């Protein structure tokens, strides 16, 4: 774990937070839309989602702001309406993130594994929207990085989704619920930077039986468990949400909601900025929050922090022709040493490892066993020797 710079004390931290928050809030307004996606890989499963995105003016279906913005897919709690997560998107969208909230699995019979797969799917779907000239999001999505997260059942679902989709760059869970299938068991298959947040006053998903074992089972080199003293299960949401129906009998000497939301923002925004934006100042801001807020208890380490590479294309990874019915020539800048080059399907499963010794490398549309793979969307991911990576989306025609 990196140490806190000696020049940042409590006063410095407050100033840093004000600067950070002020810059974020001045950047973008919140645009809103709904898209009805269809996941052909799961029997044409309907996946509708509410989308909150950076815009120059607030409103429904307004044009996105100029720039490329990463997607953060967010899973809701059991029966919790996605409209209750206003504090989350009011923190993330002004900071330059597109927040996508699937409307699926909204009943008491919800399947968290399917919700986790929906979360991963909407990331890919939004990245595809950026390539569609008829889409509101044409040219607006940063396809090189993404994050998955959620609250309560949605936090467990995000953990399941992260375990199946290693191409996602970061995980965030708030008061995550152990699920069936087990999110705790799935955490062993997660290698991406992971932030797990719980509250000491949460009697719905207590830390000891939910977030702690998820954290302890993570395989990630960069992982943190943060407990908010007095934090409740629903304190991250709008007041009066149906999440509160589950909190009967919980401790009453808890954090004020505004304080819990402020702590959430002080943790989640710099965590994403550090790992998706490769922002060294954001990493210092995250560590400062841990080191100076007496109401946070935490443990964690970050043996490998993503290299300071700017958002967008740096490796110059391309795959041509695209789309293609016969295969792809995968090329990158000779100035970068590529450690691994892998093809993944839309579920994040490894299809084939390609030779990364020299550019270009080829993929002939076959699996590691030599079988022709079905047509559809695939991702080719290059991991560099310095730990950073890039992906390129390809469409294989059959």
Judge if 46 and 93 occupy the same domain.
yes
386 and 295 co-located in one domain: no
Task: Give how far Cα 90 sits from Cα of 16, 50, 74, 82, 101, Å.
Answer: 19, 14, 13, 13, 14
- Same domain (yes/no): 85, 208: yes
**How high is the mean pLDDT in each 10-residue block of the chain (398 residues)?**
31 41 60 97 96 97 95 98 97 96 98 98 93 93 92 98 92 98 96 95 97 96 95 96 91 86 95 85 88 94 51 68 87 82 79 90 94 85 77 80
How far is residue 330's CA from residue 320's CA, in Å, rounded to a whole number? Answer: 7
Q: Are residues 173 and 208 in the same domain?
A: yes
Residues 287 and 356 in one domain: no
Alpha-carbon span 354 to 361, nearest angstrom: 7
88 with 231, same domain: the answer is yes
| Residue 313 falls inside a structural domain | no
Residue 2 lies in a domain: no
Chosen domain end from 251, 267, 302: 302
Query: What's 338's DSSP letter?
Result: E
Residues 288 and 350 in one domain: no
Look at residue 358 in the predicted model and tell me its pLDDT.
84
List all residues 6 or more positions away from 358 whose beta carbon is below 8 Å from its beta carbon: none
State whether 382 and 274 are in the same domain.
Answer: no
Domain hosting 367: range is 318-396
In a domain, 27, yes or no: yes
Q: Which of 144, 169, 172 is nearest to 315 (CA)?
A: 144
Backbone dihedral angles phi then psi of residue 126, each to the nearest 5 degrees: -70, -35
Query: Domain total for the chain?
Result: 2
pLDDT, residue 316, reads 78
In a domain, residue 5? The reply is: no
Note whether residue 86 is domain-resident: yes
Estimate to the nearest angstrom the gap between the alpha carbon of 331 and the chain centroid: 27
User: Closest Cα to residue 10, out of 293, 262, 298?
Assistant: 293
DSSP 278-326: --HHHHHHHHHHHHH-TTEEEEEEESSPPP---SS-SS--EEESSSBSS
What's 331's domain CATH number? Answer: 2.60.40
264 & 370 share domain: no
Q: How far apart are CA 140 and CA 149, in angstroms?
A: 21
The answer to whether position 355 is within a domain reads yes
pLDDT of residue 324: 84
Residue 1 lies in a domain: no
Category of 61 on φ-ψ map: left (φ > 0), alpha (ψ -120 to 50) or beta: left
Give the span between the Cα atoms of 372 and 9, in whole angstroms.
59
Q: Same domain, yes or no, for 260 and 352?
A: no
Assess whether 84 and 140 both reside in one domain.
yes
In a domain, 311, yes or no: no
Reported pTM: 0.77
Q: Are 186 and 166 in contact (CB under 8 A)?
A: no
Among left, alpha and beta (phi > 0; psi -120 to 50; other), residue 370 is: left
Same domain, 259 and 383: no
At 33, which CATH number? 3.40.50.1820
- Please tell me the distance from the alpha carbon of residue 188 to that of residue 182, in angstroms, as a whole number: 11
Last residue of a domain, one of 270, 302, 334: 302
Q: Output DSSP code: residue 249.
A: T
pLDDT number for residue 228: 97
């Amino acid at each position: 774990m990196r140490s806190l710079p000696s020049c940042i004390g409590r006063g410095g931290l407050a100033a840093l937070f004000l600067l950070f928050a002020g810059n974020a809030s001045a950047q973008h307004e919140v645009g809103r839309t709904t898209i009805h996606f269809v996941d052909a890989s799961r029997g044409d499963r309907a996946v509708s989602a509410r989308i909150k995105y950076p815009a120059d003016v607030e409103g429904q279906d307004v044009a996105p702001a100029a720039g490329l913005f990463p997607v953060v897919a967010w899973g809701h709690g059991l029966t919790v309406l996605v409209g209750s997560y206003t504090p989350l998107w009011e923190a993330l969208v002004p900071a330059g993130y597109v927040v996508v909230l699937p409307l699926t699995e909204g009943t008491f019979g919800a399947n968290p594994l399917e919700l986790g797969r929906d979360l991963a799917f909407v990331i890919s779907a939004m990245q595809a929207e950026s390539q569609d000239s008829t889409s509101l999001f044409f040219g607006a999505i940063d396809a090189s990085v993404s994050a998955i997260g959620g609250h309560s059942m949605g936090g467990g679902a995000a953990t399941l989704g992260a375990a199946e989709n290693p191409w996602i760059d970061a995980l965030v869970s708030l008061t995550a619920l152990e699920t069936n299938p087990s999110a705790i068991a799935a955490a062993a298959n997660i290698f991406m930077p992971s932030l797990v947040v719980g509250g000491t006053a949460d009697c719905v998903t207590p830390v000891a039986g939910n977030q702690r074992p998820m954290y302890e089972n993570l395989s990630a080199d960069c992982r943190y468990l943060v407990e908010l003293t007095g934090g409740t299960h629903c304190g991250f949401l709008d007041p009066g949400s149906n999440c509160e129906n589950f909190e009967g009998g919980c401790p009453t000497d808890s954090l004020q909601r505004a304080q819990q939301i402020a702590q959430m923002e002080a943790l989640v925004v710099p965590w994403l900025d550090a790992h998706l934006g490769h922002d060294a100042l954001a990493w210092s801001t995250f560590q400062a929050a841990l080191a100076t807020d007496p109401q946070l208890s935490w443990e964690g380490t970050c043996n490998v922090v993503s290299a300071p590479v700017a958002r967008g294309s740096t490796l110059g990874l391309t795959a041509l022709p695209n789309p293609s019915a016969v295969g792809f020539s995968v090329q990158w800048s000779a100035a970068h040493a590529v450690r691994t080059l892998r093809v993944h399907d839309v579920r994040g499963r490894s299809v084939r490892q390609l030779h990364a010794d020299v550019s270009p490398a080829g993929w002939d549309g076959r699996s590691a066993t030599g079988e022709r793979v079905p047509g559809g969307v695939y991702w080719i991911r290059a991991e560099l020797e310095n730990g950073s990576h890039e992906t390129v989306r390809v469409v294989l025609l059959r």
